[in-house]
Chain A
Amino acid sequence: MKRTVKCQTREAGFLLSFYAMASPCEVLVDCENEQHAKQLGQIAAFEAWRIEDKYSRYQQKSICGQLNLNAGKPCKIDQETYLLLKFSDECFMMSDQLFDITSGVLRKAWRFDGSDNIPSQTQIKALLPFIGWQKTTLTEHSFLMKKGMEIDFGGLGKEYAVDRALQLINEQTECPVLINFGGDLAANKARKDQQNKQLSQPWQVGVDHPSFDKQQVIVSMTSGAVATSGDANRYLLKNGKRYSHILNVKTGWPVEKPPSAITVAAPQCIQAGFLSTLALLQGENAEQFLTEQEIKFWAIR
């Protein structure tokens, strides 16, 4: 995919769009200066591409690729990687060891291609020794995991990019900006009402919920972030039973009855992303979990 930023005029400002992290990405800027809007769009795009290059597990040269390749050996890490791993560590603790960036190894057994290929317990059991964040060692300058283990920032990378991009944009502008990287969103402030400039109005965003019937949730937000986690079209069906791609790392088996998608609101996108994934991991109790946490969410079953 070519790395270019497209600029379109829209009511109240500009839409900057590009493609990063396997998703269409958009930056909405409410301002009258096209040059300024383009500049903000580029800041967001460069940050998204930088994070993609640095942390994509599909790129062997990325830090993620290198850490996975060198599993079994202690690896030197930079400050940003340390902070991301540290955040993953906190997520692991906060989730009672359910949110685990080493869980990707299970993909070797589970291929969520819509087929009925359910792996055997033996296959899964063989993978479990290579899963478990508690088996890794993280210091400020190094990271070590067992040979055969893998890490994957897939669950946090895009949300992190949203937060970082908005941070960089906020250093450059006072204009209302909304960032949408493939459905993970953050806004810095309310937009101005077009009819009545003294009033502010929320951003109205349609979040596609990747469920069967393509339901859309309309989220109105002034500032803060929203992230969505879902079943996408990734599941297996066997004998009428649906196996979701949300895997419980402790058992290696899919979580029972998670919502097909859940959208969560939080101050930072990375928080929203973690909470939406954690909610899915609660399976049937996802909504109850978020309600008890007093967190705003929109769930689709």
Chain B
Amino acid sequence: MQLNKPQNFTTPLAKQSKTQTSNNRALKGLLTTAACALLGVNSNSEANTNVLADWKFDTALMFYNEPSRVSASEAIIAGTKTFNNDQILNLKVTVDALTGASANGAVTQPNPQTFTSPSGEKNYQVKANTTPLDNTFKDFRLQANAQWTQPLGNDYTWSVGSNLSKEYDYLSVGANTNIAKDFNKKNTTLSAGLALNYDVINPVGGIAKPLTPMLYPNQFARSVSSDDNEADSNNKITIADSDHKTTADLLFGVTQVINRRMIMQFNYSLSQVDGYLTDPYKFLSRVNNTGLTQQYLYENRPNSRTKHAFFAQTKYHLNNSIIDASYRYMTDDWHINSHTVDLHYRINLSKGSYIEPHVRYYTQTAADFYQPFIQEEAVLPEFASADYRVGKMDAYTLGVKYGMPVTSGQSMAFRVEYYHQTPKNAGFTQPGVLAKQNIYENIDAVIAQVSYSF
């Protein structure tokens, strides 16, 4: 415990510190000259004392394109500073811009369809036999993360961080903490973490009453007179302007060094999400027994979700390459079960450059409330969503990354990936005209990324 020395009142503080600084320079300078004379080298530069690397920056630009659908660009800048005693501060800012169209949940029809934009101000048309996409989809997201990591004693590492993400209709704030303990000469590490997030969604046009129809401007007057719920000048009967959800994640992990060449990691995470989990912009088509759409209903999802995820990863160093393989199994109380297999194989080339092929396979079952459409004569379920993201699907990614040093301590990498998603029929029969429609349209995307570290 250090005690503060009483200030010397006779010397004004400013003057005192100024004198101090010039003395410091004098001692450092003298010592440099003295060592230089002794060793016959020019050590006259503080840059020589590069004992702890200063700020290190990683930057990346990424482009994501689903032809005829969403395109996104993302810029990331992350800075890491290592302080004395291995304390690490990591700051990261990510900016994403998304434009284009995303599937609104309605089914394909043999005739053109008209939808009202979320704001209720304009309509958009979808051609016959094409997947309805909401082309008013446009977003800009800013994310900021800060993480502090430090050793506690010899065997513990503690980390704490916070994150913030803002879109025009969305705000997410969160905090996390993690503690890791090394055992067995640091060959085994056990870790436990907790992350909490609070998200507020403020959708354009408000939050629709679950499973109520999308309204056209000419239907507006009717709905006001026939319903007690507030209906303002938009395309839906709203129940609120905004809603929120909370997420708590618990993570337990073991990392084990198997031998000089191999390291394995196992994680289990439990995630509990409560609150508004519905996508406020997604519809379900209500079709009659000939398969023709009669109405578009706003979807509704349960207000809680409990997920369990199991993850295993192994990295194996060969002489000139590294195999990095991982598998993840996720199951939740919506009955979505997913498997992910991810394989990276990094081959070191000459002079520090490398090439890294990447293969990923993903498959999931549908949520129990998923249905591609609602039949007119059926009783409305409590929960329903036609969002392909909670439906049955397979997906794979093929990619390659090439990295190379630029100058000492600086490097560049280029990554190109192709993503292919195949939504599947989870056992629904398609009545009438729907039988001929492709209501499970594949999605292809291309991802390109350039990153630069210095």
A143 to chain B, nearest CB (A): 16
CA distance A224 to B45 in the complex (A): 11
A160 to chain B, nearest CB (A): 7
Q: Which of B30, B31, B39, B86 has the most CB of A within 10 A?
A: B31
- Of A83, A268, A298, which is within 8 A of B84 by CB? A298
> Which residues in A have their C-beta under 8 angstroms from that of B409?
190, 200
Q: Is the CB of B354 within 8 A of A198?
A: yes
Q: Is the CB of A164 within 8 A of B52?
A: no
Q: Is the CB of A275 within 8 A of B354?
A: no
Q: Is the CB of B52 within 8 A of A221?
A: yes
Q: Is the CB of A11 within 8 A of B37?
A: no
Stretch of B171-179, B264-272, B303-311, B400-408 at the chain-chain interface: B400-408
Q: Is the CB of B37 within 8 A of A83?
A: yes
- Does any Cβ of A come within 8 Å of B240's Cβ? no
Interface secondary structure of B, over-half rule: mixed
Q: Is the CB of B39 within 8 A of A198?
A: no
- Does any Cβ of B come within 8 Å of A1's Cβ? no
- Does any Cβ of B come within 8 Å of A122's Cβ? no
> Which residues in A have their C-beta under 8 angstroms from that of B404?
198
CA distance A116 to B246 in the complex (A): 65
Known contacts A94-B27, A202-B53, A224-B49; A298 and B322 CB within 8 A of each other: no
- Does any Cβ of A come within 8 Å of B14's Cβ? no
Of chain A, the residue at the smallest CB distance from B153 is A215
- Of A198, A268, A275, which is within 8 A of B353 by CB? A198
Of chain A, the residue at the smallest CB distance from B1 is A301
Q: Is the CB of A267 within 8 A of B403?
A: no
Counting chain A residues whose Cβ lies within 8 A of the other chain, the interface size class is 35 or more
> Which residues in B have their C-beta under 8 angstroms from that of A267?
32, 35, 43, 45-46, 48-49
> Which residues in B have their C-beta under 8 angstroms from that of A192?
352
> Which residues in A have their C-beta under 8 angstroms from that of B151?
218
> Which residues in A have their C-beta under 8 angstroms from that of B35?
87, 163, 267-268, 270-271
- Does any Cβ of A come within 8 Å of B317's Cβ? yes
CA distance A231 to B241 in the complex (A): 69
> Ordered nearest first, which 8 A-B pairs have the shortest CB separation?
A267-B48, A90-B34, A198-B405, A198-B352, A265-B51, A87-B38, A198-B411, A224-B49
Chain A residues with a Cβ under 8 A of chain B = 11, 83-84, 86-87, 90-91, 93-94, 160, 163-164, 167, 190, 192, 194-200, 202, 216-224, 226, 265-268, 270-271, 274-275, 287-288, 292-296, 298
Chain B residues with a Cβ under 8 A of chain A = 2, 5, 20, 24, 27-28, 30-35, 37-39, 41, 43, 45-46, 48-53, 82, 84-86, 151, 154, 260, 317, 322, 346, 348, 352-354, 403-405, 408-409, 411, 453
